[in-house]
Amino acid sequence: MSSGNDIAIDVKGLTKSFGGREVVHDLSMQVKRGSIYGFLGPNGSGKTTTIRILCGLLTPDSGEGTCLGYDIRRDAEKIKRRVGYMTQRFSLYQDLSVRENLEFVARLYGVTDARGAARDMIKRLGLTGREEQLAGELSGGWKQRLALGACTLPNPQLLLLDEPTAGVDPKARRDFWNEIHALAAEGLTVLVSTHYMDEAERCHEIAYIAYGYLLAHGTVEEVIAQSALATYTVTGEALNELAAALTGKPGIDMVAPFGTSLHVSGRDIAALEDSIAPWRERGGLRWQKSQPSLEDVFIELMGRSKDNFQ
Partner 1 sequence: MSGVDAPASARAMRERFGFLRRSYAMLVKEFIQLKRDRVSFAMIVMLPVMQLMLFGYAINTTPRNLPSAVLLQEDSDLARSILKALENTAYFRFLYEVHHVDDFDNLLKSGKVLFGVEIPRGFERAVRRGDKPALLVAADATDPVAASAAIGSLGMVVQTALKHDLYIGDPPEMPFEIRAHARYNPAAASSLNIVPGLVGTILTMTMLIFTALSVTREVERGTMESLLAMPIKPVEVMFGKIVPYVLVGFLQAFLIIGIGVGLFGVPVLGSLFLLALLSTLFITTNLSIGYTISTVVQNQLQAMQMSMMFFLPSILLSGFMFPFAGMPAWAQYLGECLPLTHYLRIVRAIMLKGASMENLRFDTLALAALMLLAMTIAVTRFRRTLD
Positions that interact with partner 1 (CB under 8 A): 52, 55-59, 76-77, 80-81, 83, 85, 87, 89-94, 105, 108-109
Q: What CA–CA distance (Å, rounded) separates 299 from 310?
A: 16
Instruction: Using the minimum distance from each CB to partner 1, give the nearer residue, 93 or 258.
Output: 93
Q: How far is the CB of 53 from partner 1 (least distance, A)?
A: 10
**Cβ atoms < 10 Å from Cβ of 282:** 13
- Among residues 108 and 182, whose Cβ is nearest to partner 1? 108
Q: Is the dihedral of CA 149, 151, 154, 156 positive or negative?
A: negative
Q: Which is nearer to partner 1, 96 or 256 (CB)?
A: 96
Q: Please, what is the minimum distance in Å from the beta carbon of residue 105 to partner 1?
A: 7
**Of the two residues 76 and 239, which places its CB atom closer to partner 1 in the complex?**
76
Q: Residue 120 CB, nearest distance to partner 1 (Å)?
A: 19
Amino acid at 33: R
SS3 category, 96: coil
Query: Counting Cβ atoms within 10 Å, is residue 196 exposed (0-12), middle (13-18) or buried (19+)?
Result: middle
DSSP string, 162-200: ESTTTT--HHHHHHHHHHHHHHHHTT-EEEEEES-HHHH
Q: What angle do CA 75, 79, 83 make, to 5 degrees?
A: 170
For residues 45 and 73, is the Cβ–Cβ distance under 8 A?
no
In angstroms, what is the minimal distance from the CB of 94 to partner 1? 7
CB of 60 to partner 1, least distance (A): 10
Q: In whole angstroms, how close is the CB of 82 to partner 1 at the nearest point?
A: 9
- Burial-class residue 185 by CB neighbours within 10 Å (0-12, 13-18, 19+): exposed
Alpha-carbon dihedral sign for residues 257, 258, 260, 261: negative
Smallest separation (angstroms) from partner 1 to the CB of 62: 14
**Cα–chain center distance at 261:** 27
Alpha-carbon span 298 to 279, nearest angstrom: 26
Q: Three-state DSSP class for 25?
A: strand
Shortest distance (Å) from residue 91 CB to partner 1: 4
Q: Quick one: 80 or 304, whose CB is closer to partner 1?
A: 80
Nearer to partner 1, 105 or 294 (CB): 105
Q: What is the CA radius of gyration of the chain?
A: 22
Nearer to partner 1, 53 or 276 (CB): 53
User: Cβ closer to partner 1: 5 or 112?
Assistant: 112
